[in-house]
Structure 1
Amino acid sequence: MSTSRLGAAPKPASADDEGFKRELVVLIPHLRAFARTLTGDPTAADDLAQDAMMKAWDARASYQMGTNMKAWTFMILRNQFYSEKRRSWRQSQLDQEAAERTLVAVDDPEAPVALDELRQALKTLPEEQREALILVGAGGFAYEEAAEICGCAVGTVKSRVSRARRALAATLEKGGYGRDGKAAGDAMRSILGEADRLAGARS
């Protein structure tokens, strides 16, 4: 038996590995924010994000550099969450405050948010519509990317976003906001505007 490999120096990281690591580090705040949307618990979210990053690293050979790593890692994180929570999942477990933080986390993951009205408006949406609207309207994902993350057809995502958009638009028309009402309305208009922009660009 050859002993030529015993004591050999560790294989140096490849350029692709280094590039992958740099891209993954940039996405850490976004992964944590999305994890908080799903878990509703900061500690559980950090654990979920860490597990997803480890899975992404282990699967790096299957990732094609230059493609959308954000969508790829979000899909890994989402699959990990549903795999862990499949038996105990209830629709009410999607914490609205965490979802609201995700809306702001796209550009500023640490930005504080206190918009009770927006949180309540989102709470009225079915979970699937809420998730689709967050990914497309706030997360900046194209319909195709959101469909890949959610594991459904592009048309299904478009339908969910459209229904969520109409429901929130109706909420806007009703008005009646209390504290932070203007901010809540502005936030919802921003989300709906992004959904409209994507719909118009792809119609």
Structure 2
Amino acid sequence: MQDELGRRLEELIPRAGTVEADTRLGRVLLRLRAALLDAEAERQVSKAFGDGVIALVPRLRRSALLRTGNIAEADDMVRATLMRAWEQRSRFAEGTSLVAWLFTILRNIHHNKHRRVRRRILDFDGAVAAEHSAAANQQQGAAHLALQTALDAVPMEERETLLLVTVDGLTHEEAAAVLGCPVGTVRVRVSQARYRLTLSLGQ
């Protein structure tokens, strides 16, 4: 979704930045890369699988940050997701969507831990703000607050579906696989969420 609303949502959701090698997630990534190379050499997994898992880490971190509001907690979620993906690598069906498979694991880990999706994007320790090179001006801050307030008012299922498609970058088919619902339901939820947001924002 590349329209104005999509762009504003993209700006609203913070990025987690790079993974430092000396962090818990960084160490897991180093071990996972080595394990994937060994598994590829032994033909346990394909090169596409290994490359794909590593390439999706930034998107997984951003989605985890959206759900938790805290970089440390988000990285723990991603770490758990990668470990589970490694343990269950034989269950991945080649030719299916790796994105949907990993995001399903991430979503299940979050739901099992919290039983619900948090509604607000939080920044307890200032780590998110530190990733931005320049502070938002007052006008930008007011616009982001208005968008966040409008987003909070969208029903949870519609909100999560919209964010999977607009921010996490999943296709409607991938989002449907993650959410366990028909593609038509995803399209309806995204459309309804967009309508609620544009109505709330007076656009």
Give the TM-score range, shorter chain: 0.5 to 0.7
Aligned to 1:74: 103
Partners in 1 of 2:39 and 2:101 — Cα distance? 26
Query: What are the Cα deviations for residues 149-176 of structure 1, in whole angstroms up to 9, with x where unaligned?
Result: 11223232222112111111213326xx
The TM-score, its normalising length taken from structure 2, stands at 0.63
Partners of 1:143 and 1:157 within 8 A in 2: yes
CA distance in 1, matches of 2:173, 2:132: 28
Aligned twin of 1:153? 182
Q: What SS does the corresponding residue of 1:64 show, helix, strand or coil?
A: coil
Code of the aligned partner of 2:45: D
Report the counterpart of residue 178 of structure 1 in structure 2: none
Give distance in 2, aligned partners of 1:33 and 1:21: 20
From 27, 42, 45, give the equivalent of 1:14: 42
Q: Which moved more, 1:27-36 or 1:62-71?
A: 62-71
Aligned to 1:127: 156
Equivalent in the alignment of 1:40? 69
Matched, 1:31 2:60: yes
User: Residue in 2 aligned with 1:104?
Assistant: none
Query: What CA distance in whole angstroms lies between the structure 1 residues aligned with 2:101 and 2:121?
Result: 24
Question: Aligned-pair RMSD on alpha carbons?
Answer: 2.7
Larger Rg: 1
SS for the counterpart of 2:56 is: helix
In structure 2, relative to structure 1, the CA distance for the partners of 1:25 and 1:67 (3 Å cut) is same
Instruction: Give TM-score scaled by structure 1 length.
Output: 0.63
Quote how far apart the aligned CAs of 1:48 are.
Answer: 0.7
Q: Percent identity?
A: 37
**Alignment match of 2:121 (pick from 84, 87, 96):** 96
- How far, CA to CA, are the matches of 1:120 and 1:143 in structure 2? 25
2:202 maps to 1:173: yes
Alpha carbons of structure 1 residues 75 and 111: separation in structure 2 relative to 1, 3 Å: farther
Unaligned runs of 5+ in 2: 1-37, 124-130, 137-143
Aligned partners of 1:71 and 1:145 also within 8 Å: yes
The verdict on how the C-alpha distance between 1:23 and 1:160 changes in structure 2, with shifts beyond 3 A counting, is same
| CA distance in 1 between partners of 2:98 and 2:181 (Å) | 19
Matched residues in 1 for 2:184 and 2:96: separation?
22
**SS of aligned partner of 2:169:** coil
Instruction: Give structure 1 stretches of 5+ with no counterpart.
Output: 1-9, 99-109, 175-203
1:66: Cα distance to partner? 4.3
CA separation of 1:161/1:12 partners in 2, compared to 1, >3 Å: closer, same or farther? closer
CA 1:64–1:111 in structure 2 vs 1: closer, same or farther (change >3 Å)?
A: farther
Instruction: Sort the Cα spacing of 1:97 and 1:162 in 2 relative to 1 into closer, same or farther, 3 A.
Output: farther
Task: Give 3-state SS (helix, strand or coil) of 1:140's partner.
Answer: coil
**Native 8 Å contact 2:81 2:106 kept in 1:** yes
